[in-house]
Amino acid sequence: MFINLKTQTSKQKTLYNLLLIFGLAALLCVEGYAGWRLHELSKQQEEIKTDYSNVNNITLGLFSVDQWKDDIKGIINHQVRHFEMTKQQRKDLQKEVEQIIMALINKAEGILNRPPKSLGGKLKKFAIKTFVNTDDIKAQVPAFAKKIISQADNPNNKKQLSKLALGKVAVLEQSAYVDSTLSVKDSIMNVAFKKYHVKSQDILNKKLNTSLSEIRTRMYNYSFVMLGCVIFVLLLWWLLRKRTELHVALFIMSLLFAFILLGVGLTASMLEVDARIGSLDFVLLGEHVTFKDQVLFFQSKSILDVVEVLVKQPKPDSIAVGILILVFSILFPVMKLSSTGIHLLSKKKIAENRFIKYFAFQSGKWSMADVIVIAILMVFIGLNGLLQSQLAMLDIQSEPLTIITTNNTALQPGYIIFISFVVYGLILSTILKFITPHDAH
């Protein structure tokens, strides 16, 4: 009877452990899927924002001669073709034209009144004085001036003037400067238009902004799903704190949740630096010239991206920093999690191994994961404040010139996940000291 009861109790424990494992495995799949989607969306967001910053880079907009050429051509064409004079302007202009014509007539009359030096000159002077009456010509000056103004205001003539002015601009730009950014801009635009199936930069910007907004919402939703899974595991620890027979299985499954947090925290973007001129508007030849979303700088990096960049640098000090981050912020947490699992599952001889025991209980003080969290936060605060102050100096609000700057620098969901891993790892370390079947000291 006693043996049967003991066997039945052992079977119940096994059944409870299996149910716990299968239940947490299903939840682990949910966290894994959410983490994978968060990782993919983070890469997609970085790619779209990189394309956006390339297309809207200030060197291809505000600093591009080709862009200015198009704007100036449009202004000249509009100013000449759509120029309309008021009655007062016509009156004032007619007076100016009359004065110019009168000055020409008086100058011609003065030349004729000079004493001729040759016989031919005397004959010309006699003929002009005989057949030309300068008083009659002067009397017709107002009519001439009016005719000239009406011809200048003729739509066909304004069209010809516009072509002439634009032709002069084209000759000037070809002889004065060759825009080196033109070929680069055409290449970037063509690739972006083909990639996103659009035909203009405005449509492209709207499409990218819409996509980024949707991606941002989905990223945070998946982040909350991952956090919800981890919180559920910790709540399960509280509910099963007295069921010691389930602690080993629960801890091993908890480690798997931690590995997923770490993987996503290391690969997803943590910090995004985005500084741009949101809007620049000024008046040129009576018309507004506007440049929008001129990107000054953009970078988005995960911890692994930072390590990769540092290690690939030619300077030894950069390589050393990259290796330190790799060892103490990535390898140490991985070794610690692995060692805790080995310590619980293995026999006492393996569990008491110095290497295993050290990484399971003592390596926390060497891990810089928590330091990285604080460092990134401090970098964000400092960099954000610096960009805000520097961009604020560019803000100008006046009638001829308006500049509005935008600082989109922000911490990304990857940072939230990495913080969650650090906190979750500390909690698991505390739990391990209470449930370990071996001496933890």
Helices 247-267 and 303-311 cross at an angle (nearest 10°) of 60
- For the residues 192-197, what does the mean pLDDT come to? 90
pLDDT value of residue 218: 95
Is the pLDDT reported for residue 3 higher than 50? no
Kindly state whether residues 402 and 326 are assigned to the same domain.
yes
Number of domains in the chain: 2
Is the pLDDT reported for residue 107 higher than 70? yes
Phi-psi region of 285 (alpha: psi -120 to 50; beta: other; left: phi over 0): left
Predicted confidence band of residue 1 (pLDDT cuts 50, 70, 90): very low
Is the pLDDT reported for residue 285 higher than 50? yes
Q: Number of helices and strands (H, E) in the chain?
A: 17, 5
pLDDT value of residue 24: 93
- For the residues 12-16, what does the mean pLDDT come to? 84
Kindly state whether residues 239 and 333 are assigned to the same domain.
yes
pLDDT value of residue 380: 58
- For the residues 220-226, what does the mean pLDDT come to? 95
pLDDT value of residue 199: 87
Please calculate the CA angle 316-319-323 and round it to the nearest 5 degrees: 135
Is the pLDDT reported for residue 272 higher than 60? yes
Kindly state whether residues 27 and 140 are assigned to the same domain.
no
Report which of residues 343 and 431 the model is more confident about.
431
Kindly state whether residues 363 and 419 are assigned to the same domain.
yes
Mean pLDDT for the chain?
75
DSSP 277: E
State the Cα torsion 319-320-325-326 to the nearest 10°.
Answer: 70
Kindly state whether residues 292 and 412 are assigned to the same domain.
yes
Kindly state whether residues 18 and 97 are assigned to the same domain.
no
Please say which residue of 133, 152, 171 terminates a domain: 152
Q: What percent of the chain is predicted at pLDDT more than 90?
A: 16
Is the pLDDT reported for residue 92 higher than 50? yes
Is the pLDDT reported for residue 245 higher than 80? yes
Radius of gyration of the chain (CA): 40
> Of the given ranges (60-64, 223-227, 388-392), which has the lowest mean pLDDT?
388-392
Predicted confidence band of residue 396 (pLDDT cuts 50, 70, 90): low
Of the candidates 405, 409, 391, 399, the one whose C-alpha atom is nearest the C-alpha of residue 279 is: 405
**Contact at 8 Å (CB) between 165 and 75?**
no
Kindly state whether residues 416 and 268 are assigned to the same domain.
yes
Residue 334 burial by Cβ neighbours in a 10 Å radius (0-12, 13-18, 19+): middle
> Of the given ranges (117-131, 407-421, 427-441), which has the lowest mean pLDDT?
117-131
Please say which residue of 99, 123, 152 terminates a domain: 152
- For the residues 365-370, what does the mean pLDDT come to? 60
Is the pLDDT reported for residue 344 higher than 50? yes
- For the residues 344-355, what does the mean pLDDT come to? 68
The structure tokens 């100013």 sit at 79
Kindly state whether residues 15 and 130 are assigned to the same domain.
no
pLDDT value of residue 324: 80
pLDDT tens for 32-85 read 999 999 999 999 999 999 898 888 887 777 666 666 666 666 666 655 555 566
Kindly state whether residues 95 and 17 are assigned to the same domain.
no
Kindly state whether residues 30 and 90 are assigned to the same domain.
no
Is the pLDDT reported for residue 181 higher than 60? no
Is the pLDDT reported for residue 317 higher than 90? no
Predicted confidence band of residue 257 (pLDDT cuts 50, 70, 90): very high
Is the pLDDT reported for residue 256 higher than 70? yes
Measured distance CA(265)–CA(307) in Å, rounded: 14
Please say which residue of 152, 175, 205 terminates a domain: 152
> Of the given ranges (68-82, 212-226, 402-416), which has the lowest mean pLDDT?
68-82
Report which of residues 74 and 303 the model is more confident about.
303
State the Cα torsion 309-310-313-319 to the nearest 10°.
Answer: -150
Tokens at 412, concatenated: 């990304």
Is the pLDDT reported for residue 86 higher than 50? yes
For the chain, the farthest-separated pair of C-alpha atoms sits apart, in whole angstroms, at: 156
Kindly state whether residues 414 and 295 are assigned to the same domain.
yes
Domain of 370 in residue numbering reads as 2-42+233-435
> Of the given ranges (169-183, 302-316, 426-440), which has the lowest mean pLDDT?
169-183
User: Is the residue at 50 inside a domain?
Assistant: no
Is the pLDDT reported for residue 110 higher than 80? no
User: Is the residue at 237 inside a domain?
Assistant: yes
Please calculate the CA angle 106-107-109 and round it to the nearest 5 degrees: 60
Report which of residues 94 and 225 the model is more confident about.
225
Kindly state whether residues 260 and 401 are assigned to the same domain.
yes
pLDDT value of residue 30: 96
Name 283's Cβ contacts closer than 8 Å, sequence gap at least 6. 289, 399, 400, 401
